[in-house]
Amino acid sequence: MYIQLVSNPSFIDSLNLQLFNRDDYKVMYLCQRYISFLTAHQEDCLSEAIIFDKPYQLLRENYSDDELRLHGVFFSGREVAKQLLSCIQKYDYQHQVMDPCCGAGDLLLAYAVKLPPLADPKTTILEWAKILHGNDSNADFVNITKLRLVLLANYILIPSITIQEVISTWEQYIFPFLTVGNALDINTPDIDIVLLNPPYQQIVVNKIYSWGKGKISMAAVFIYEFYYKYPKAIIAAILPDVIRSGSRYIKLRQDLSMFPWKCAQIYGRFDKRTDVDVFTISNNSKIFFQNNKNIKKNTKTIASYFFVHVGSVVPHRDPIKGPSHFFLTAKNLPSKGEVTSFTETRKSLRTPHKGPFLVMRRTSSPTDKVRCATTIINSAEDFFIENHLIVLIPKNGKLETCRAAYNFLVSQQCNTIVNKMIRCRHLTTSAISNLPYIEEKE
């Protein structure tokens, strides 16, 4: 029998978080699938692929992207775990290490690999069990974590060992600090290192934080709560890019100023089937700053030359009344070039913008050929602009200023800068305003 633990379905009462109960979800059977695979291949030797990659593969083979996204079930994987662990320099048996939402144990395995192996698998496993803390709301995932740790210790010490030799004995080991429950209920004292890959979905939080309220990212809640729960610990986290670059999380970044947000390590897209870009960060800041000593700051930005706003008209919500002007939308404009003639008009009570100016599509991905898809509006007319566009109005009112900035915004240089600044699927006025830029005079 593998461990039978009862999950508490309620989140920490003081937060009143609205969260699903993952124990009702069918990934409960993932451990059974993993054991079935191991049993079917029991005469084979253990391998890194079986230990590190197979649980992830089984998850993807048996559950749809929509199911996984709905319930926030995404395992870290080897590569992003490796990047996260690069900021931890304490790999020994003297430190208590916790992953409060461990899933199938990827981050704990990544840490265990760094520990010096002991005399034999049994001794190694017993020592790991004294320092590794893992928690998940799904008991099935906790069982997989235990099984994988046992497999890993045997593989490290006896690379030629067969699967059969391990799975016949793995249940005899006890990991007292692998638990089932709600992560924010954890109150384990004396934790030295927290490894964190929290859920990313948006939830409604009744608790009012100094940095946000209402519907916010669970990742923001987790990084905030665990820092203040363990202020003396090294905290290393994998977070969605919106936490690093989103304007709504500016106050969170200020509250957690001990994390070097501007020096965070961009990882990129979480995986091929997950359309979320992530980064890694740690309050073990010395390591991050070492690679950023020589960054030169440019005092001039796009905001030095332009007023930057989001288009104010919400087409399906705003009443059609008031004065009539030309109406610019993401659909009726080309994604690049210069436009001089316009046809679509509408009435609105919003404030119009007088040309010339630039408009930029807000929807943007790091995989796009041009991150800042920009169009020059060459006209002195007044325009209403929909909210899917960002408008850049030259402070000097000159078309030449728009053309000069356009050449920069559609360049590869700009792509590189933007991809370092923000990897969300929507550009923000803050990111565009802060783009380093000096107008080149002809």
Give the integer Cα–Cα distance in Å for 223 and 235: 9
Cβ neighbourhood burial of 375 (10 Å; 0-12, 13-18, 19+): buried
In the chain, the domains with their CATH numbers are: 22-290 (3.40.50.150), 302-433 (3.90.220.20)
Instruction: Answer whether 0.75 is exceeded by the pTM.
Output: no
Torsion of CA 97, 99, 103, 105, to 10 degrees: -20
Q: Has residue 291 got a pLDDT over 70? A: no
Q: Has residue 293 got a pLDDT over 50? A: no
pLDDT tens for 242-287 read: 898 888 898 999 999 888 887 778 777 776 666 688 888 998 855 5
- What value does the mean pLDDT take over residues 153-161? 96
pLDDT value of position 329 = 96
Cα first-last separation, the chain: 77
User: Which comes out higher in pLDDT, residue 65 or 123?
Assistant: 123
- Of 398, 396, 387, 392, which Cα lies nearest the Cα of 327? 387
pLDDT value of position 181 = 92
Q: Has residue 297 got a pLDDT over 60? A: no
- Of 172, 189, 179, which Cα lies nearest the Cα of 231? 189
